[in-house]
Each structure stands twice: as C-alpha cells, then as structure tokens.
C-alpha cells in the first residue's frame, strides 16, 4: 500500500452559475513532505466546516485504482491527482477491504478510518458533470475520511501500513451501502452505531435508524 500523492488547497471563490462558490475542493499535488496536523494538512482548508473537516474528517482519502474506472466511465483522460477533492491519493486501500476503525501508519503519522464520503454538488461542479453526484454514489467508490491519531510529516511515495483492524469489522463500503441503499436494515444499523471509531455524525444517524419503528 502506498501514498501516491498529497493534495491540498485553501478555500477559494470559483464561478458558479450566476454567482461564485467558495470551496476547498480544488486540491493540487504537493512536492516534498507536508505536516499533517490534528485537523488538516499544512496549506489545506475547508470552506464549509459544517459538512467537512473537524477531527472526524481531517483528511479525505481516495483510491487511485478508481481513476481508471472513472476515466472509462466518463470518457476522459484529463485527471490529475486530487481530481476527486482528496487529500491523499492512495494505492491498495479499496473500500471493501478497509474497515471503519482501521489504523494506518503513513510516514510519520497514524490515522484512523471514520466514515465514507457522501458527495455534494461541489464535486459535480468540479468534475463538470451535472449527474456526477448520482454516479459517484451509485458506484460506491466513495473513498473515506480519517482522523489523525499521531501528527507528523507525510509525502508522496510513503508506504502505508495497517497497524490495527477496526473493531466490528464493517468495511467502508458496507457502512456506506447501509446508509445510502439499505436504510430499512435496523439490525445492521444497530451494528454500525456500535462501531467505536465511527464518526459522531454517522453514529447519530445509525442510532436513529436502528430505533425507527
């Protein structure tokens, strides 16, 4: 498993319809090593802190393997690292084999998987594909968020090592599918709500889903 690219961007205004949109989704690759702090990478930021960022979503990770799928699906060859708004473009960490609560050592850091990604309209705007949110969700190639357990420096080419497997062994893909496509599964929702490392917002969602009558 490997970190292929580290990508950052501070929030900026971009044209959107008849106005402007403030967003940090336009990530660009960084050369050299970058400091990963508790809440984000040096040089990175989120425009909407109600939907992004915080300790549970400090870094967004996306598998490089999905680039080929989207290139073929969309008929495009113009993708660059950070294309999907990710901070870490990684190799060898697919959603069906990454568990909520997994702890990974990357460079001088340790991070823990907290949740998958539910896309918003800003991703469709960046991709210049009006239906991309629906496509992205349906494909369940979501990437995942991590919290930072040990700050330090990271850089492209760093080896990624899993040092602990998440308690409960529910994969990122399984939990995402449960939230998006299997909403009536109260038993599975109760299991998800008990995952110790799950983000606070997703835990609240699954607690309510498990209690529905």
**Do residues 93 and 1 make contact, with C-beta atoms less than 8 angstroms apart?**
yes
State pTM to two decimals: 0.95
pLDDT score for 15: 82
pLDDT score for 168: 95
Local confidence pLDDT in tens for the 213 residues of the chain: 999 999 999 988 888 887 887 888 999 999 999 999 999 999 998 877 666 678 999 999 999 999 999 999 999 999 999 999 999 999 999 999 999 999 999 999 999 999 999 999 999 999 999 999 999 999 999 999 999 999 999 999 999 999 999 999 999 999 999 999 999 999 999 999 999 999 999 999 999 999 975
Name the CA radius of gyration of the chain, rounded.
Answer: 17
HEC string of 128-158 equals CCCCHHHHHHHHCCCCEEEEEEECEEECCCC
Q: Hey, which CATH number is domain 2-183, 3.40.50.410, 3.40.250.10, 3.30.750.24, 2.40.33.20?
A: 2.40.33.20
In the chain, where are the structural domains located?
2-183
> Within 13 A of 203's CA, how many CA atoms are on the CB side?
11
**133 backbone dihedrals φ, ψ, rounded to 5°:** -60, -45
pLDDT score for 46: 81
Rounded Cα gap, residues 150 and 36, in angstroms = 9
Q: What is the pLDDT of residues 79-127, one digit of tens each?
A: 999 999 999 999 999 999 999 999 999 999 999 999 999 999 999 999 9
């Amino acid at each position: 498993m490997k970190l292929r690219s580290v990508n950052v961007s501070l929030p900026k205004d971009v044209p959107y319809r008849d106005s402007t949109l403030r967003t940090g989704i336009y990530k660009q690759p960084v050369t050299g090593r970058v400091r990963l702090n508790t809440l984000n990478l040096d040089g990175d930021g989120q425009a909407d802190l109600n939907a992004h960022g915080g300790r549970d979503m400090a870094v967004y990770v996306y598998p490089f393997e999905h680039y080929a799928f989207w290139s073929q699906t969309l008929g495009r060859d113009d993708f660059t690292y950070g294309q999907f708004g990710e901070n870490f473009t990684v190799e060898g960490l697919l959603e069906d084999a990454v568990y909520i609560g997994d702890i990974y050592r990357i460079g001088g850091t340790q991070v823990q998987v907290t949740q998958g990604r539910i896309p918003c309209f800003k991703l469709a705007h960046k991709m210049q594909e009006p239906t991309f949110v629906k496509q992205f969700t349906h494909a369940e190639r979501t990437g995942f968020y991590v919290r930072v357990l040990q700050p330090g420096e990271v850089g492209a080419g760093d080896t990624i090592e899993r040092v602990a497997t998440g308690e409960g062994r529910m994969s990122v893909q399984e939990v995402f599918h449960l939230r998006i496509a299997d909403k009536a599964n109260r038993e599975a929702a109760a299991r998800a709500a008990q995952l110790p490392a799950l983000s606070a917002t997703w835990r609240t969602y699954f607690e309510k889903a498990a209690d529905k009558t």
